Structure 1
Amino acid sequence: MNDTNELKKSVNDGSVQNIWIGLQKTGRDEWKWSSGEPALYLKWHTGQPNGDEKECVIMSIGHWYAVGCSTSLSFICNSSYNTNTELVFVNQLKSWRDAQSYCRQNHIDLVSVRNQNENQQVERFISDRYLTGSWIWIGLFRDSWQWSDQSNSSFRDWDPTQPNNAGENCTAVKHDYQGQWHDISCTDQYPFVCYEDPELIVIRENVTWSEALRYCRQNHVDLVSVHSEEMQRRVMNVVKRASTAEVWLGLHNYCIMNMWLWVSGDTVCYQNWAPGNGTKPENCKLEKRKGAVQSGGDQRWISLPETHKLNFICTTYEE
C-alpha cells in the first residue's frame, strides 16, 4: 500500500483515467504463498486441486483443498517472518483476500506451510484449539499474474469486480480516490509510471576492475555484491542500461585458495555463472581474474582479466 500511495502522489494530472503498472497475466497458473514464495511443498488431499475456478487453499486434518476464494472461512496468521512458532487463529469468517488483508494489517501474513514439519505444526495448532475437521484458510493461492521485474510480490489491490477474465491481460490503476486495479487490454493506451532502483547505479564509463572499485568506494559505497536470486533480478533490471557487453561486479578470484569472493569479504554462495566460468582459470597466476555480468542475453556471470575496460555497477547502501 505504501507503493500504491507513492504512485498516486506521482500523478497530478486530473484528466488521467488509468495508469499502467507492471503486472501482466502470463497464462501460467502457479501455486504460491501469500508471502510471495513459490510453493515447492504441496500436501494435497487425493483428487485435489479439482477445478480451475478454485484458486485458494484451506487446510483440514493436515491435508489441503482448493476452493473458491470468495468462500467465508476462519484463518491462521503468522506473526513471525521465518518460522511458524508464532501463529494466530482468527475466528472471523472472511474471504481469502480479506483474510490476507487482515493478517497483513494486524500480524505478518497468512500462514505459509513450506515443508512437512510446518504442516505438522499447523495441524497441531488447529487440533489444540479443538478445530480438527474445520476448513481454515492458509496462505496458498493460484495466480498467473507476474510483475515485469520478475519480483515475487503477491500484493494485489484489485477492484472488487476485477480481474474479470475477459481476455484483458494487463493491469492499470484507476486514477481516483481508491486507486484500485483493473485488468485491461494490453493494446489500450494510457500513461505509465516507471521506477528506478535507488540502490544500484550503472556507471557508463569504461574502466578496469580496480578503477571501478575505487570509483564506487569514493563516490558511493562499493561495487555490487550479488548474494541472492532477488539481487540478481535487480542487477538484471539495471544492467540493461550499460553500454558494454559485460559489466563489472564486486567479484574477484582469490587465486591461491581457488575461491571466488565478493568485495564485501563474503564467499560466493548464490551463483549465476555462465557455462565454463567460475572455475579456477589455467592462467590464474599470470592474470588476475574478476567477475562481470553480461548486459544482454541471459545475463550470466563471466570471468575476465581485470584489465578489461567495462561499465560497472555501484551500490549506494551499506550491507
Structure 2
Amino acid sequence: MNPTITLKMRLLLFLLCSGIFHFTVQSNHLRFFRFNMTMPRIIHSSVLKECKRTNESLVTLYDEEDAWFVANFTSLMTNGDKVWLGLQKSRNITWSDGSPVTFNVSSVNSANGAQKCEAMDNDTWRGYDCSERKPFMCYDGKNYTLVRDEKDWCQALQYCRKHFSDLVSISNETQNLEVIEEGNKTNFWIGLLHDEWEWQDKSCSSYRKWDPLFNPDEKCTVQRQSTLYAHGCDNTEYTFCSKGFVRIKVIKEKQTWEQAFDYCRTRHTGLLWIEDGKDQQAVEQWLNHTEVPGPFWIGLRQSRVFGFWIWTSDRAVSYSNWKDGKQPELPLSNHCGVITRDAYTWSDEHCLFPHYFLCEEEISFN
C-alpha cells in the first residue's frame, strides 16, 4: 500500500478515536418538508394526527425567508390556497423555564395575536419585538450572568439552556433588585414571554405576520403567501408537515469562506454541514425554492497537510456528493467546499473567492 495513504488512514483513525472528529447517528438533522398531494383537505385535529403518524409535526415558520419558502413550495400544488400551520392559541404569559408568574411588573398587553418578549431597561420591565437583538441574562442555580453578545430572544433562550440553565426568571421583588444590579443599567432580555399563541412542536419563533383583518376568536392558523390567518380549527385545509431540528439559512451576500464561517458562528449556529443523503435532499429542496444563484459556501474544508476533507462541525465526511463523483485531492485541489445551485453537487473552491453561503441554525424549543 502507498505509504502516504497509509499515513493518512492512521492519522484519520487517531483523530476519530481521540474524539476530535466524530461520526453521528442522528437522522433528519436538516429540516425536510412533506406535502401530500393525494390527501384531501382535512380539519386541524386530523392534520395533527397525520403528521404525528410519520414522526413529523405541522410546519413552524421562523422568519420571512421561511414564509416565502413555504409559499413557493406549496403554491403550485394548492393553486395558491391555504395550508395548515402548527400555530395554535393555547396560552398567555409564561416564563421560559416554566416557573409560575407570581411576580409581574410588566405593562405589556399581548392580545390580538401580538407577541412581546420582556427586557430589563435600567430598572424597568419593557416589552419588545422578540426578533430584536439584545444582551441577555442567564441563570444557573442562584447565579446570574449577563451575556453581552446580542441575540434575539429565541437565540438567547437557546444559548442560556446550552451554557447555563435558562433565561432568568423573577419571582419576587428581592430577586428583581438582584437582577437589576447584575444588569448594571444594560438593556437585556429576561425570560418572560407574552404570547397567546404556541407552535405545535413547542419551538421558539418570533414570526408573526398576521393578516390585518385578524380574527381574535379563532384558535388555529393557516398560511397563504407569506401571511398568517387566524382560522377556525374545524375548517378543512391542506396538510403540510416537516421534521428536523436544524434550519437552513441562505445568506444573500458574498463573502470569503473565513468571513462566511465567522458570520454563521456569530449570527446563527455555524456554516451548514451535510450529514447524509436525507440532509442532501433537504438542501436541494430548499435551494430549489430560492432565487439566489449560488454557488454557496458550506462548512467543508480540506486539510492542507494530509488532504482529507472535514466539516467545521468537527464531524468526519461520512457522506459526499462531489461533482462527477470524484473527491478533490492534493496537490491540485482548492481547500474549501461549495455546493452548486444547478446540480446541487459539491466542488472545491479557492477560499478567498467571495460567494453566497449557507448557514445552519439549531431550532430552540420552549
TM-score, reference length from structure 2:
0.35
TM-score, reference length from structure 1:
0.40
